[in-house]
Structure 1
Amino acid sequence: MALFETLVLLLLVAAVALQVARWVRVPYPTMLALAGALVALAPWAPQLGMDPHLALVLFVAPALLSAAYDTSPYELRRHWAPLVALALFAVLLTTAAVAWIGWAVAGLPLAAAIALGAIVAPPDAAAAQAVLNSQGLPRRTMTVLQGESLFNDAVALLVFGAAVGSVGAGAPLRDLLPALVLAVPGGVLLGVVTGVVFVALWRFWSGTLSSTILEFASTFGIWLAAERLHVSPVLAVVAYAMCVARFAHGRQSPRDRVHSFAVWDAVVFVLNVIAFALMGLQTRSILMRLHGTQMWDALGFAALVFAVVVVVRIVWVMSYRRVLGAWLPSLRQPPVGTAGTRFLVGWCGMRGILTLATAMSLPVDFPGRDLIVLSAFAVVLGTLVVQGATIAPLIRWLGIPRDTSLEQDVQRGRSALADVRAGVVSQRAAVPVLSDDGERVAVTAQREALNALLCENRLPEDAFRVLQEELDWRELSLTPHTEREITEA
């Protein structure tokens, strides 16, 4: 009962805190991080834990699917070189730097130090999206940051799994490399196959609550299946989400789409709240076990990890074109953005739910677990509060203009759809005003035209989703109430 009461109280506190965040114009992940810190310091907080095996699948899988669903594969292909530099090399460099100080300064075993590096290395997709969406950053920058946040999760979890497996099996890391190489294509293949099957069977559950249940069950099931098959669960979920998103346009009804988006947004948000709260409770338990100089040494080490994470990312983002230009010819081109934009990308390294969940997933008897969990929470808290809360003033200080290209693409798409509607009206010239049936005919024609614009790459995917949502609501407003309901079965 204590767990349930605590979660209810924490959700109520989070709801109030988010209203405060709106009032002071602070991104909600920053406020959640502060709430987690307050939980860690609250004397009334109970001692609660979580099964380590549950943390990753429960918190990461839904957030990852939600972010991947809105990511365009076409844009990722266009910007593959920066993505490789950030999602692969930046994670490995950060892992190596943190692992070195963990081994040299804190005296952690090498495998435990590498696990710490992998935990704090990857920026978080949901945190970056929540913090940056309202800032009007260049769309190319947003695409790279979102893509980086998806694929660096896979790199970090592969390294993390190898490090934890090395401790558990007592085997050297090099013996696990063949399995890691196979984990990447295996995860992608599993996600694509599952996505194709899910889309093909979608119509059997259309318009029912079973559809939403199956969306969650399939997401968790893919992650668990990937773990059993020893392939990358992150890449499996990402490939599954992108496959479903790409082929769902003509198969998912507006009713199902609106309902699904609302449920997913709410669930991912609640899971974020619970993750931050549980991490705060674990941090409080750790601090209570430390006394005197032990506490200050641990907090000093955690602050050092935070500083290393921030500095390594900024240095790498500012220099990777020179370093990798010899191997990646596309990076020899002059950068599209200014030095200020590149510095902003380096500063946008917020850590979030993946770092929290991987830290909580460590076995209870893992070497140096308390120090690792404390350092992970310090990095999440530091990046979300220090970096997340300063992004807006930094953008103004750097003089980065607000990108309005999305609004322009949306307006261009609206004009094209207006022409389609005008064509339908002209064909029904005998009717002065379109009836509801005529309106539905017009919406159907507009939807076909919108899908064609996307398939022919004449409209970016983010603009497509804005216009798709507008058509969904227009079609639902013309649909009888009984046909808009989501039935139980």
Structure 2
Amino acid sequence: MEVLLVAVLAAVVVIAVTALAPRAGVAAPLVLVLIGVAVSFVPAVAAIDINPEVILVGVLPALLYASAASFPSMDFRRDFTAIGGMAVLLVVISAVLLGFVFSWVIPGIDLAAGIALGAIVSPTDAVATSIIKKLGAPQRVVVMLEGEGLLNDATSLVLLRSAIAATAASVSLWGVVGSFFKAVLLAVIIGVIVGRLGLWAREHLRHAALSTAVSFVVPFVAYLPAEELDASGIVAAVAAGLVTSTLSARHLSPQDRVAERMNWRTIEILLEGGLFLAMGLEVFGLVQDVREAHGSLWTAVGVAALAAAGVIALRAMFVLPLLRYLAARRRRAEQVRETLDRMEHRVSAKLDEFTDPNGIITPEAAQALSAVWTQGDQRVWEAGNPRRQVRRVQRRVQVEADKRRVAAGGLSDDQKERIRQRRMDRITEFRRRFTRRIADVDYLVAAPLGPKEGVVIVWAGMRGVVTLAAAQTLPHDFPQRSLLILIAFGVAAGTLLVQGGTLPWVVRRLGLAGVTSSRFVEGTQGLREIVDGTARDVLDDPELRRKDGTPYAPYVVDRVRSVVVREQADQDEEEATPEELSAQFFELRLATIAAQRKALLEARALGTYDSDLLSRALEQLDADQIAVEMRGHLDGG
């Protein structure tokens, strides 16, 4: 009964603080930590010691999966180099350098124990960085911070395991490197498999509540086998979430996606708030342990302050050259933009010139295409164009041309049709690569990362509950365990309160609050044209038929056109449709929405529009489909 009472009171506090803190202009996590600290020192409250497995196994996989499931996978791919650098190299560098410092200033610990503490305090917290998302900071900054928080826990935990093992036995550098890559590779494979299996199961359930229930299980199904195989369960849960983010619009119904978003958001609020509250509640117990072991807290406070300053300084020194690299990459992208346009035009012209009336590329096309690529500006390669993929396309074109020369004399009509379709598919993919590359260039040009964004990236690198939970996984016989745990808490709480408390002011002072991407503004009209143009193509198709093969009534087509494309302002969706035609109306309406969604997903795959804008457009289609299906059900259609 006491446990239930505590859980209920905690939930009430989390809900109240989450609702009221924004009105006071304060981040809810900061308030919850302070409340937890205050309550922990109340004499009537006993010292609280939360099992770290509860956080690392019971809570963190779910939260990171939920974050990954709503993460823009296209933006993640574009900034993967920067994200990977901060999630791996920065953590390793910070852990090792801080390890030397800790082994020097903390009595009784060696280098391995110091690196263990360095690994604990080095990664940023994906939950803590949620603060930045609510400030309206530039989307690319949010993507980099959130992507870093999703991945750097794996680096930290692998280093921590190796450092703990090194305190008892020697561990080679190559052993640590091999363990890391094994942990990540196995985790990604497991996560992708589990993510796809989860989508397959949810697609066949056709029940929104059951589909959401499966999504609650997926992160743990990915986490547990990964940990059993000495891989990173965290990375497995994140990989499963990214698979869900990429494929859910293709495999799940709108009801499933809406239910999933709402239910997971509720769980995120409660779990995130509960974690920060628990983080504060543990303070008294930690203080008590350190006092009993050392008689003073000043060592812990001093080392924690030194570590907090150190992680900020190391982060700043890492981000500075990273920004220079990204700036150089952006300059190369600007230089190559015109070259890519010119090459796309030349390749398209050659394809049109050397394509026969059946759409089949003639043997001469291979040589022509090769000449186009050979004459391509060297800046294309310097800008990161996937040269290996381009050569693979060249080889495929040449192989197909050779095959057709060999078989030129005796092809049947079916064989010609199959060849034509295969070649047209390859042409489509060939052009898609160009379009995606140009979209990548536009993304880099439209979302630069300058000194102001760099300041936000550095200052938003807060530590949080993961640092405290990882510290508590130290073995009970680990040297200076209680002191190291309190130092970890000091770093986490200090960075969260100081950096998190001042971050809104920093973002506003730099003029980055509420910044809207130019791609977002420019893409609004473009997406509207895609949605309306797709609807027109569907409705103007002379072969338009119902599921049973009968044509739609002209009245129904006109009604759907007036509703979807808004060509006639005097008609809207509430206008009555004759009862005998209502079934046709709702069927055609849903078919149009399906075509519009397919067009938006194609635009998302190419990356030609802002990810936030595309997400909103897809959510609007989901809402439209749910409304249409509800009306059709009520009307008996």
Give the TM-score range, shorter chain: 0.7 to 0.9
Matched, 1:50 2:164: no
Q: 2:124 is matched by which residue type in structure 1?
A: P
Match in the other structure for 2:124: 123
Structure 1: gaps of 5 or more residues: 485-489
Distance 1:320 1:456 in 2: 26
For residues 449 and 226 of structure 2, what CA distance do their matches in structure 1 show?
38
Question: How far apart are the structure 2 equivalents of 1:357 and 1:337?
Answer: 33
1:264 alignment partner in structure 2 = 264
Please state if 1:143 is matched with 2:143.
Answer: yes
Q: What are the within-5 Å matches in structure 2 for residues 323-342 of structure 1?
A: 330=329, 336-342=448-454
Tell me how far apart the structure 2 counterparts of residues 331 and 178 of structure 1 sit (CA, whole Å).
Answer: 34
Question: CA contact under 8 A between 1:112 and 1:368: conserved in structure 2?
Answer: no
In structure 2, how many angstroms separate the alpha carbons of the residues matched to 1:119 and 1:469? 39
Larger RCO: 1 or 2 (CA < 8 Å, sep 6+): 1
User: 1:39 and 1:411 mapped to 2: Cα distance?
Assistant: 52
- Between 334-343 and 23-32, report the one with greater CA deviation: 334-343
Residue 413, structure 1, aligned to residue 414, structure 2: no
The reply to whether residue 470 of structure 1 matches residue 620 of structure 2 is yes
Q: Where does residue 471 of structure 2 map in the other structure? A: 359
Q: Deviations over 1:323-376 (max 9, x none)?
A: x89xx9859969933222212211110222422332333344433332222222
**Could you tell me which amino acid in structure 1 is paired with residue 297 of structure 2?**
M
Shift in alpha-carbon separation, 1:48–1:396, aligned structure 2, 3 A: closer
**Which residue type is aligned with residue 34 of structure 2?**
L
Paired letter, 1:240: A
Matched to 1:390, the amino acid is T
Offset of 1:65 from its aligned partner? Answer: 0.9
Task: Judge conservation of contact 2:135–2:513 (CA < 8 Å) in 1.
Answer: no
Aligned residues of 2:91 and 2:119 also touching (Cα < 8 A): yes
8 Å contact kept, 1:65–1:219: yes
Kindly tell me the number of residue pairs found equivalent between the two proteins: 479
Q: Which entry has the higher C-alpha Rg, 1 or 2?
A: 2
User: Could you say which residue in structure 1 is the equivalent of 2:299?
Assistant: 297
Show CA shifts across 1:223-251 (max 9, x none): 11111001122222222211222222121
Amino acid paired to 2:485: V
Structure 2 runs not aligned, ≥5 long = 334-443, 541-553, 560-570, 578-584
1:208-267 alpha-carbon deviations (Å, 9 max, x no partner): 533223222221121111110011222222222112222221211111111111121222
C-alpha separation in 1, matches of 2:233 and 2:208: 28
- The answer on whether the counterparts of 2:531 and 2:599 sit within 8 Å (CA) in structure 1 is yes
Match of 1:67 in 2: 67
Q: CA deviation at 1:182?
A: 1.7
- Which residue of the partner structure matches residue 95 of structure 2? 95
Q: Deviations over 1:428-451 (max 9, x none)?
A: 454465556154444333222222
Please state how far the C-alpha of 1:121 moved relative to its aligned partner: 0.9
Q: Determine if contact 2:462/2:492 at 8 Å carries over to the other structure.
A: yes
Q: In structure 1, what is the Cα distance between the partners aligned to 2:589 and 2:42?
A: 57
User: Which AA in structure 1 matches 2:28?
Assistant: Y
Matched to 1:416, the amino acid is: I
Q: Quick check: 2:191–2:236 contact (8 Å CA) kept in 1?
A: yes
| Structure-1-length-normalised TM-score | 0.87
Letter in 1 for 2:121: V
The code of the aligned residue for 2:298 comes to W
State the 1:159 CA deviation: 0.8
Tell me, in whole angstroms, the C-alpha distance in 2 between the residues paired with 1:65 and 1:446.
Answer: 28
Note if contact 1:91-1:121 (Cα within 8 Å) is conserved in structure 2.
yes
Contact 2:154 2:232 in 1 (8 A): yes
1:171 to partner: Cα distance: 4.4
Whole-angstrom distance in 2 between the partners of 1:134 and 1:278: 22
Residues 325-474 of structure 1 correspond to what in structure 2 (within 5 A)? 330=329, 336-400=448-512, 402-405=514-517, 407-408=520-521, 409-410=523-524, 412-421=526-535, 428=556, 430-431=558-559, 433-434=572-573, 437=586, 439-474=589-624
Contact 2:87 2:148 in 1 (8 A): yes
Structure 1 residue 400: Cα displacement: 3.9
Residues 29 and 273, structure 2, Cα contact 8 Å, conserved in 1: no
**Contact 2:534–2:595 (CA under 8 A) maintained in structure 1:** yes
- In structure 2, the residue matched to 1:487 is none
TM-score if structure 2 supplies the norm length?
A: 0.68
Supply the RMSD in Å over aligned alpha carbons.
Answer: 3.1
Aligned to 2:171: 172
1:409-442, Cα deviation, whole Å (9 max, x unpaired): 3454244324445666777454465556154444
- For 2:165 and 2:36, how far apart are their aligned partners in 1? 29
Following superposition, the deviation at residue 320 of structure 1 comes to 4.2
Name the % identity: 28
1:356–1:377 Cα contact (<8 Å) kept: yes
3-state SS of the aligned residue for 1:123? Answer: coil
Q: Is the 1:56–1:361 Cα contact (8 Å) retained in structure 2?
A: no
Is the contact made by 2:141 and 2:457 (CA closer than 8 Å) also made in structure 1?
Answer: yes
What's the offset of the Cα at 1:310? 1.8
CA distance change for structure 1 residues 270 and 399 in 2, over 3 Å: closer, same or farther? closer
* Code of the aligned partner of 1:68: A
- Offset from partner CA, 1:19-57 (integer Å, 9 cap, x none): 331111222222333233323333333333333433311
Q: Deviations over 1:104-146 (max 9, x none)?
A: 1113333332222112111122322x21223332322222222
1:401 and 1:274 mapped to 2: Cα distance? 28
Amino acid at match of 2:200: A
Residue type of the alignment partner of 1:299:
V
**Per-residue displacement from partner, 1:368-423 (whole Å, max 9, x unpaired)?**
33222222222222222211222222123334474312642345424432444566
- Matched residue of 1:479: which SS? helix
CA distance in 2, matches of 1:126, 1:414: 34
Where 2:180 maps in the other structure, the secondary structure is helix
Separation in structure 2 between the aligned mates of residue 474 and residue 415 of structure 1, nearest angstrom: 17
Partners of 1:252 and 1:388 in 2: CA distance: 37
CA distance in structure 2 between the aligned counterparts of 1:375 and 1:381, rounded to whole angstroms = 10
Query: Partner letter of residue 278 of structure 1?
Result: A
Residue 183 of structure 1: CA displacement?
1.6
